[in-house]
Amino acid sequence: MNFLKLIPFVMVATITITKPALGQSKIEITIKPKVTLIEVNENKQIVNFDFLVTNSSTDTILLDQLRVSVYDNKEYLLQRKFLDNNGTAPSILLLPKRIWEGNQEQLIFNPFSEFELVTPIHKLEYEWIFTNSKDEETKVTTVVYPERYNEKVALIFPLKGKILVYDAHDYNSHHRRFDYTFRPIKSFGIKSNFMRYAYDFVLLNSENKQFKNQGEENEDYFGFGATVYAVAEGTVIYASNKHQDNKKFDIQKLKDNPLELYGNCIAIQHKDNTISVYGHLMHNSLTVKVGDTIHTNQSIAKIGTSGSSFFPHLHFEMRNAITHDAEGLPSYFKNIFLVEGSHKRKLNSGCATTGNILQIK
């Protein structure tokens, strides 16, 4: 008897049944987004994508093991990593979702996302081992061919001064772990992770502090009201200036406009059609409007705390659209320096990570 019949999907998949299984069981694994990018920072290559795993059967299934094999362009095995159920504290438990009820889909963030700079990644082959309530085991293989992202428009940093990268888009970041299949999010029409490569930037004073007093008021933050600059030349395609700096937004408006999340916000389309987005801006601080032609390093607004914001900071991201199916894109800045105590050095990759303290002139 067949246990699982795999539905075709975007990349490549095979299935192996190791024990007799239930015929009505089906698993579909889809790579999200379709084009998988390699981002490169100072120390590593990062492959940031998701698996949409759908159990179309009526059976409950459990993920027991997930393994990745890395190959070069000659199909030579370079390395292999895995999560499994071995030991007293199994590594598979690092995945927060590993049980699928019948007719359920869940998003799995790629847990094997970081590789050494010298690794010539060509193909990533993932092997999934699922079991059902009868301990019937099924293997599914998915294959991904990631592409190195080549930025076509040079970007400058959108702020000046000393900056804390409060949150970037590493595996633990909330930008990275945006589950667009979560029912409340899905109900607004959002279909992808537009903030996949986003940043939250906070200005610091000379003592590397974010705020004075207790940080209870917007004005306590050293970055509140700081100037925001355009990262490259382009045309303004979205500008919202009406939200108060009260950390609130109307969530229902996301159905019509996903940028409502960011309160006061600017979107600039660049000559390669990529779009830079600047969010949580100060009420009435925008100096540009839709249709304006913008030049690199132009002052466009000030940092605020409008929209879904806990405290004054700049949310910045690159993406390919401003619609509900927008996908995030990497960003490399040509003018950033990493502060390490009393020393600083240029980040030649242009890619910052969570926790970095930067100096921008």
Per-residue tokens: 331? 């960003």
The listed CATH number (1.10.760.10, 3.90.1150.10, 3.40.50.20, 2.70.70.10) that belongs to domain 161-360: 2.70.70.10
Domain limits, CATH 2.60.40.1470, in the chain: 12-148
Asked whether 21 and 15 are in contact (CB, 8 A), the reply is: no
Per-residue pLDDT at 24 = 39
Q: What pTM does this model have?
A: 0.91
pLDDT(138) > 60: yes
pLDDT given at position 208: 95
**Does 212 have pLDDT greater than 50?**
yes
**31-60 core/surface letters (b: 16 or more CB in 10 A; e: else):** bbbeebbebbbbebbbbbbbbbbbbbbebe
What's the mean pLDDT in 334-340? 95
Instruction: Give the tens place of pLDDT for each residue, 46-105.
Output: 999 999 999 999 999 999 999 999 999 999 999 999 999 999 999 999 999 999 999 999
Average pLDDT across the chain, whole number: 92
Quick check: 199 pLDDT over 50? Answer: yes
Say what the pLDDT of residue 361 is. 87
For CATH 2.70.70.10, the residue range(s) in the chain are 161-360
Residue 27: band (very low, low, confident or very high) from pLDDT cuts 50, 70, 90? very high
Task: Label residue 82 exposed, middle or buried (CB < 10 Å: 0-12, 13-18, 19+).
Answer: middle
Q: State the burial class of residue 224 (Cβ atoms within 10 Å of its Cβ: 0-12, 13-18, 19+).
A: buried
Burial category of 225 from C-beta neighbours within 10 Å (exposed 0-12, middle 13-18, buried 19 and up): middle
Q: Which carries the bigger pLDDT value, residue 32 or residue 16?
A: 32
Residue 141 has a pLDDT of 96
- Token digits for 111? 């847990």
List beta partners, residue 131: 62, 137
How far, in Å, are 72, 219, 304, 313 from residue 282 at the CA level?
Answer: 48, 12, 4, 10
Residue 344: the pLDDT is 94
Q: What are all long-range contacts of 91-96, with beta carbons under 8 Å and residues at least 24 apart?
A: 92/63, 92/64, 92/65, 92/66, 95/63, 95/66
Using 50, 70 and 90 to split pLDDT, how confident is the model at 25? low
* Phi-psi label, residue 85: left if phi above 0, alpha if psi -120 to 50, beta otherwise: alpha
Express each pLDDT in 232-249 by its tens digit.
Answer: 999 999 999 999 999 999
CA distance 114 to 308: 30
pLDDT tens track for 165-183: 999 999 999 999 999 999 9
- Report the first-to-last Cα separation within the chain, whole angstroms: 67
pLDDT, mean of residues 216-224: 95
- The lowest-confidence range among 4-18, 47-61, 112-126 is 4-18
Q: Which CATH number fits domain 12-148: 1.10.357.10, 2.60.40.1470, 2.60.40.10, 2.102.10.10?
A: 2.60.40.1470
